[in-house]
Amino acid sequence: MVKSRVQIHRKSASFLRSFKLSTPNSPTLLTPPIRNVRHEKKTPFEFLNPNGRVPAITDPNTGITLWESSAIIEYLAATYDKSSKLTYTSSPEKYYVSQWLYFQVSGQGPYFGQTAWFHKFHSEQVERRRRGMRSSTIADLSFVAWNMMVPFIFGDQAEELQIEKNYPRYFKWNQKLIERPAVKKIVQDKQKAMSGH
Domains of the chain from N-terminus onward: 1-197 (1.20.1050.130)
Task: Give the C-alpha distances (Å, rounded to integers) separating 27 from 59, 101, 151.
Answer: 9, 22, 31
Dihedral angle over CA of 174, 180, 185, 191, nearest 10: 20
Per-residue confidence (pLDDT) for residue 48, from 0 to 100? 75
Per-residue confidence (pLDDT) for residue 177, from 0 to 100? 92
Q: What is the mean pLDDT of each run of 10 residues along the chain (197 residues)?
A: 51 56 57 45 68 77 85 89 90 93 87 77 52 71 88 89 90 92 87 74
Q: Are 16 and 186 in contact (CB under 8 A)?
A: no
CA 42 to chain CA mean position, Å: 23
CA pseudo-torsion sign 164, 165, 170, 176: positive
* 56 SS3 class: strand
Per-residue confidence (pLDDT) for residue 42, from 0 to 100? 58
Please tell me what DSSP assigns to residue 183.
H
Per-residue confidence (pLDDT) for residue 36, from 0 to 100? 43
CA pseudo-torsion sign 35, 37, 38, 44: positive
Per-residue confidence (pLDDT) for residue 55, from 0 to 100? 78
Per-residue confidence (pLDDT) for residue 96, from 0 to 100? 93
pTM for the predicted model, two decimal places? 0.55
Per-residue confidence (pLDDT) for residue 110, from 0 to 100? 83
Listed in sequence order, the residues at least 6 apart from 82 whose beta carbon sits closer than 8 Å to its beta carbon are 25
Per-residue confidence (pLDDT) for residue 21, from 0 to 100? 57
Per-residue confidence (pLDDT) for residue 63, from 0 to 100? 84
Per-residue confidence (pLDDT) for residue 175, from 0 to 100? 93
The end-to-end CA distance of the chain, in Å, is 34
